[in-house]
Amino acid sequence: MTAELRREDGMLSRFRVLANQRNTLFLLITRDLKIKYADSKLGYLWSVLDPLLMAGVYWFVFTQLFNRGVGREPYILFLILGMLPWNWAQGVLTDATRALTADAKLVRSSNLDREVWVVRIVGAKAVEFVFSMPVIAIIAILTGSTPSWYLLAFPLAMAIQATFLLGAALALAPLGVLFTDVTRVMRILLRILFYLSPIIYGARDVKAKTPEWVGFIYDLNPLSGTFDLYRAAFFPRFFVGWTEVVIAAVVSLGFLALGFRIFTRLEGRALKEL
Protein backbone atom coordinates (compact mmCIF):
# COMPACT_ATOMS: atom_id res chain seq x y z
CA MET A 1 0.00 0.00 0.00
CA THR A 2 2.82 2.32 0.84
CA ALA A 3 4.95 1.06 -2.02
CA GLU A 4 3.46 3.18 -4.81
CA LEU A 5 3.15 6.43 -3.00
CA ARG A 6 6.49 6.50 -1.38
CA ARG A 7 8.66 7.70 -4.21
CA GLU A 8 7.00 11.08 -4.35
CA ASP A 9 6.71 11.40 -0.62
CA GLY A 10 8.72 14.00 1.20
CA MET A 11 11.26 13.23 3.85
CA LEU A 12 8.92 13.97 6.72
CA SER A 13 6.14 11.64 5.63
CA ARG A 14 8.68 8.91 5.04
CA PHE A 15 9.86 9.45 8.58
CA ARG A 16 6.30 8.86 9.70
CA VAL A 17 6.21 5.59 7.80
CA LEU A 18 9.49 4.62 9.43
CA ALA A 19 8.09 5.46 12.84
CA ASN A 20 5.23 3.06 12.15
CA GLN A 21 7.76 0.35 11.54
CA ARG A 22 9.53 0.81 14.83
CA ASN A 23 8.44 -2.65 15.97
CA THR A 24 10.13 -4.18 12.97
CA LEU A 25 13.14 -2.04 13.63
CA PHE A 26 13.25 -3.16 17.21
CA LEU A 27 13.08 -6.77 16.04
CA LEU A 28 15.90 -6.33 13.57
CA ILE A 29 18.11 -4.68 16.14
CA THR A 30 17.46 -7.45 18.64
CA ARG A 31 18.19 -9.93 15.88
CA ASP A 32 21.50 -8.25 15.13
CA LEU A 33 22.50 -8.28 18.76
CA LYS A 34 21.35 -11.88 19.14
CA ILE A 35 23.42 -13.00 16.16
CA LYS A 36 26.38 -11.09 17.45
CA TYR A 37 26.14 -12.67 20.88
CA ALA A 38 24.72 -16.05 19.83
CA ASP A 39 27.96 -17.96 19.67
CA SER A 40 30.07 -16.41 22.34
CA LYS A 41 29.39 -15.33 25.86
CA LEU A 42 32.36 -13.07 25.25
CA GLY A 43 30.33 -11.12 22.69
CA TYR A 44 30.11 -8.08 24.93
CA LEU A 45 33.82 -8.13 25.56
CA TRP A 46 34.46 -8.24 21.83
CA SER A 47 32.47 -5.10 21.19
CA VAL A 48 34.43 -3.05 23.74
CA LEU A 49 37.77 -4.77 23.30
CA ASP A 50 38.69 -3.05 20.06
CA PRO A 51 38.28 0.54 21.29
CA LEU A 52 39.84 -0.37 24.64
CA LEU A 53 42.93 -1.90 23.05
CA MET A 54 43.31 1.01 20.67
CA ALA A 55 42.94 3.46 23.53
CA GLY A 56 45.64 1.51 25.37
CA VAL A 57 47.96 1.71 22.38
CA TYR A 58 47.44 5.45 21.91
CA TRP A 59 47.91 5.98 25.60
CA PHE A 60 51.25 4.14 25.44
CA VAL A 61 52.42 5.97 22.32
CA PHE A 62 51.36 9.42 23.41
CA THR A 63 52.22 9.36 27.08
CA GLN A 64 55.25 7.08 27.18
CA LEU A 65 56.95 7.67 23.81
CA PHE A 66 55.88 11.07 22.51
CA ASN A 67 55.97 14.25 24.39
CA ARG A 68 52.26 14.95 24.17
CA GLY A 69 51.17 18.54 23.70
CA VAL A 70 47.47 17.86 23.25
CA GLY A 71 44.57 16.50 25.26
CA ARG A 72 44.14 16.55 29.01
CA GLU A 73 44.91 14.38 32.00
CA PRO A 74 43.89 11.65 32.75
CA TYR A 75 44.66 10.96 29.13
CA ILE A 76 43.28 7.40 29.16
CA LEU A 77 39.82 8.73 30.09
CA PHE A 78 40.24 11.49 27.51
CA LEU A 79 40.98 8.83 24.88
CA ILE A 80 38.19 6.45 25.77
CA LEU A 81 35.63 9.29 25.59
CA GLY A 82 36.67 9.71 21.97
CA MET A 83 37.24 6.08 21.07
CA LEU A 84 33.84 4.72 22.09
CA PRO A 85 31.72 7.15 20.04
CA TRP A 86 34.22 6.74 17.23
CA ASN A 87 33.66 3.00 17.39
CA TRP A 88 29.96 3.65 16.84
CA ALA A 89 30.65 5.93 13.86
CA GLN A 90 33.16 3.55 12.35
CA GLY A 91 30.87 0.55 12.76
CA VAL A 92 27.98 2.30 11.04
CA LEU A 93 30.00 3.76 8.17
CA THR A 94 31.66 0.40 7.48
CA ASP A 95 28.50 -1.69 7.64
CA ALA A 96 26.32 0.83 5.81
CA THR A 97 27.89 0.01 2.44
CA ARG A 98 26.65 -3.55 2.93
CA ALA A 99 23.31 -2.62 4.50
CA LEU A 100 21.29 -3.90 1.55
CA THR A 101 23.60 -6.65 0.30
CA ALA A 102 24.27 -8.39 3.62
CA ASP A 103 20.61 -9.34 3.93
CA ALA A 104 19.86 -9.28 0.21
CA LYS A 105 17.52 -12.25 0.43
CA LEU A 106 15.53 -10.66 3.19
CA VAL A 107 15.39 -7.33 1.38
CA ARG A 108 14.18 -9.14 -1.72
CA SER A 109 11.47 -11.10 0.04
CA SER A 110 9.88 -8.61 2.42
CA ASN A 111 8.29 -5.33 1.45
CA LEU A 112 9.47 -3.26 4.37
CA ASP A 113 10.49 0.28 3.65
CA ARG A 114 14.07 -0.12 2.60
CA GLU A 115 15.26 2.67 4.90
CA VAL A 116 14.66 0.22 7.72
CA TRP A 117 17.76 -1.72 6.71
CA VAL A 118 19.86 1.39 7.18
CA VAL A 119 18.25 2.72 10.35
CA ARG A 120 18.69 -0.72 11.83
CA ILE A 121 22.49 -0.49 11.52
CA VAL A 122 22.63 2.94 13.14
CA GLY A 123 20.36 1.63 15.90
CA ALA A 124 22.20 -1.61 16.58
CA LYS A 125 25.54 0.18 16.80
CA ALA A 126 23.99 2.83 19.03
CA VAL A 127 22.86 0.10 21.42
CA GLU A 128 26.39 -1.28 21.47
CA PHE A 129 27.67 2.21 22.24
CA VAL A 130 25.25 2.54 25.15
CA PHE A 131 26.30 -0.90 26.39
CA SER A 132 29.93 0.23 26.33
CA MET A 133 29.28 3.23 28.59
CA PRO A 134 30.01 1.33 31.82
CA VAL A 135 33.59 1.22 30.58
CA ILE A 136 33.68 5.02 30.75
CA ALA A 137 32.32 4.88 34.30
CA ILE A 138 34.88 2.28 35.35
CA ILE A 139 37.80 4.24 33.96
CA ALA A 140 36.46 7.45 35.48
CA ILE A 141 36.33 5.77 38.88
CA LEU A 142 39.79 4.24 38.47
CA THR A 143 41.28 7.62 37.56
CA GLY A 144 39.34 9.39 40.30
CA SER A 145 37.52 11.71 37.89
CA THR A 146 34.13 13.24 38.62
CA PRO A 147 31.55 14.08 35.96
CA SER A 148 30.39 17.61 35.29
CA TRP A 149 26.88 18.82 34.44
CA TYR A 150 27.79 18.33 30.79
CA LEU A 151 27.12 14.64 31.37
CA LEU A 152 23.45 15.56 30.90
CA ALA A 153 24.28 16.57 27.32
CA PHE A 154 25.27 13.00 26.41
CA PRO A 155 21.87 12.25 24.84
CA LEU A 156 22.11 15.45 22.79
CA ALA A 157 25.54 14.46 21.48
CA MET A 158 24.16 11.02 20.66
CA ALA A 159 21.21 12.54 18.80
CA ILE A 160 23.49 14.71 16.67
CA GLN A 161 25.82 11.82 15.95
CA ALA A 162 22.90 9.54 15.07
CA THR A 163 21.54 12.18 12.67
CA PHE A 164 24.86 12.44 10.88
CA LEU A 165 25.39 8.69 10.77
CA LEU A 166 21.88 8.06 9.48
CA GLY A 167 22.36 10.55 6.66
CA ALA A 168 25.74 9.16 5.66
CA ALA A 169 24.53 5.57 5.91
CA LEU A 170 21.44 6.29 3.78
CA ALA A 171 23.71 7.55 1.02
CA LEU A 172 26.22 4.72 1.39
CA ALA A 173 23.72 1.84 1.33
CA PRO A 174 22.59 2.12 -2.32
CA LEU A 175 26.04 3.32 -3.42
CA GLY A 176 27.52 0.18 -1.90
CA VAL A 177 25.24 -1.90 -4.11
CA LEU A 178 25.87 0.06 -7.31
CA PHE A 179 29.63 0.45 -6.97
CA THR A 180 31.73 -2.47 -5.88
CA ASP A 181 34.63 -0.51 -4.43
CA VAL A 182 32.68 1.76 -2.07
CA THR A 183 33.65 -0.45 0.87
CA ARG A 184 37.31 -0.06 0.05
CA VAL A 185 37.04 3.69 -0.47
CA MET A 186 35.24 3.98 2.86
CA ARG A 187 38.07 2.25 4.63
CA ILE A 188 40.47 4.94 3.43
CA LEU A 189 38.04 7.77 4.21
CA LEU A 190 37.51 6.38 7.70
CA ARG A 191 41.20 6.42 8.43
CA ILE A 192 41.33 10.06 7.35
CA LEU A 193 38.22 10.90 9.35
CA PHE A 194 39.73 9.31 12.44
CA TYR A 195 42.64 11.72 12.48
CA LEU A 196 40.44 14.67 11.51
CA SER A 197 38.10 14.10 14.46
CA PRO A 198 38.89 15.06 18.05
CA ILE A 199 39.76 11.60 19.36
CA ILE A 200 43.43 11.52 20.28
CA TYR A 201 43.36 15.29 20.74
CA GLY A 202 40.64 17.84 21.50
CA ALA A 203 38.94 20.38 19.24
CA ARG A 204 40.44 23.12 21.40
CA ASP A 205 43.92 21.93 20.41
CA VAL A 206 43.09 22.55 16.76
CA LYS A 207 41.96 26.10 17.52
CA ALA A 208 45.06 26.77 19.60
CA LYS A 209 47.58 25.48 17.09
CA THR A 210 46.21 26.45 13.68
CA PRO A 211 44.96 29.62 11.90
CA GLU A 212 41.33 30.51 12.37
CA TRP A 213 40.17 29.36 8.95
CA VAL A 214 41.52 25.85 9.58
CA GLY A 215 39.52 25.73 12.77
CA PHE A 216 36.40 26.75 10.89
CA ILE A 217 36.81 24.01 8.28
CA TYR A 218 37.54 21.61 11.09
CA ASP A 219 34.22 22.45 12.75
CA LEU A 220 32.36 21.37 9.62
CA ASN A 221 33.16 17.77 10.49
CA PRO A 222 29.98 16.89 12.39
CA LEU A 223 31.95 14.58 14.64
CA SER A 224 34.18 17.35 15.96
CA GLY A 225 31.65 19.35 17.94
CA THR A 226 29.87 16.16 18.95
CA PHE A 227 32.86 14.29 20.32
CA ASP A 228 33.91 17.36 22.25
CA LEU A 229 30.47 17.51 23.82
CA TYR A 230 30.78 13.92 25.04
CA ARG A 231 34.14 14.74 26.45
CA ALA A 232 32.90 17.83 28.27
CA ALA A 233 31.22 15.42 30.67
CA PHE A 234 34.61 14.92 32.31
CA PHE A 235 36.67 17.74 30.81
CA PRO A 236 34.30 20.72 31.08
CA ARG A 237 37.01 23.38 30.97
CA PHE A 238 38.38 21.89 27.77
CA PHE A 239 34.99 22.06 25.99
CA VAL A 240 35.25 23.77 22.63
CA GLY A 241 31.88 25.57 22.91
CA TRP A 242 28.23 25.46 21.94
CA THR A 243 28.74 27.24 18.62
CA GLU A 244 30.69 24.24 17.37
CA VAL A 245 27.96 21.91 18.60
CA VAL A 246 25.33 23.91 16.72
CA ILE A 247 27.46 23.78 13.56
CA ALA A 248 27.75 20.01 13.98
CA ALA A 249 23.97 19.73 14.37
CA VAL A 250 23.28 21.82 11.27
CA VAL A 251 25.79 19.93 9.14
CA SER A 252 24.32 16.64 10.42
CA LEU A 253 20.83 17.70 9.38
CA GLY A 254 22.24 18.58 5.97
CA PHE A 255 23.74 15.11 5.73
CA LEU A 256 20.40 13.59 6.68
CA ALA A 257 18.49 15.52 4.01
CA LEU A 258 21.09 14.68 1.38
CA GLY A 259 21.23 11.04 2.45
CA PHE A 260 17.47 10.70 2.12
CA ARG A 261 17.58 12.23 -1.35
CA ILE A 262 20.36 9.95 -2.53
CA PHE A 263 18.65 6.92 -1.06
CA THR A 264 15.31 7.71 -2.70
CA ARG A 265 16.98 8.42 -6.03
CA LEU A 266 19.08 5.27 -6.17
CA GLU A 267 16.83 2.82 -4.32
CA GLY A 268 15.11 1.47 -7.43
CA ARG A 269 18.36 0.96 -9.29
CA ALA A 270 20.01 -0.69 -6.32
CA LEU A 271 17.12 -3.13 -5.87
CA LYS A 272 17.61 -4.42 -9.40
CA GLU A 273 21.20 -5.30 -8.63
CA LEU A 274 20.45 -7.31 -5.51
Partner 1 sequence: MAPVIQAEGLGIRFQLNRHRRKQIRDILFRHNVPVPKGEFWALRDINLTVGQGEAVGLVGGNGGGKSTLLKLIAGVLIPDEGSVTVNGGVAPLIEVTGGFVGDLTARDNITLTAGLHGLSKQTIAKKFDEIVDFAEVGDFLDTPFRHFSSGMKVRLGFALVTSLDEPIVLVDEVLAVGDRAFREKCYLRMEEMLSGGKTLFLVSHNEADLRRFCTRGVYLRKGLLAADGPIEETLDQYNADLDGAAR
Q: Are 106 and 183 in contact (CB under 8 A)?
A: no
187 lies in the binding site for partner 1 (CB under 8 A):
no
**Is residue 268 a contact point for partner 1 (CB under 8 A)?**
yes
Task: Rule CB under 8 A: choose which of 22, 108, 191, 265 binds partner 1.
Answer: 108
Query: CB of residue 23 vs partner 1: minimum separation in angstroms?
Result: 7
What is the closest distance, in whole angstroms, from the C-beta atom of residue 9 to partner 1 in the complex?
A: 13
127 binds partner 1 (CB under 8 A): no
Query: Within 10 Å of residue 268's Cβ, how many Cβ atoms?
Result: 11
At its nearest, how many Å lie between partner 1 and the CB of residue 268?
A: 4
- How far is residue 231's CA from residue 150's CA, in Å, rounded to a whole number? 8
22 binds partner 1 (CB under 8 A): no
Q: Give the C-alpha separation, 88 to 123, whole Å.
A: 10
Is 35 a binder of partner 1 (CB under 8 A)?
yes
Binding segment (CB under 8 A) for partner 1, from list 2-10, 80-88, 147-155, 218-226:
2-10
Least Å from the CB of residue 130 to partner 1: 22
| Residues 58/52, Cβ–Cβ less than 8 Å | no
As a whole number of angstroms, the distance between CA 232 and CA 85 comes to 14
- The helix or strand, by DSSP H or E, that contains position 105, with its residue range, turns out to be helix 104-109
How near is the Cβ of 4 to partner 1 at its closest, in Å? 5
> Is residue 99 involved in binding partner 1 (CB under 8 A)?
no
List Cα–Cα distances, 162 to 9, 111, 158, in angstroms: 23, 25, 6
Return the SS3 of 72: coil
Stretch that binds partner 1, among 29-37, 68-76, 194-202, 206-214 (CB under 8 A): 29-37
Closest alpha carbon to 139 in 87, 74, 200, 82 = 74
Please give the residue ranges that form the binding site for partner 1 (CB under 8 A): 1-4, 7, 23-24, 27-28, 30-31, 34-35, 38-39, 105-112, 178-182, 185, 267-268, 271-273
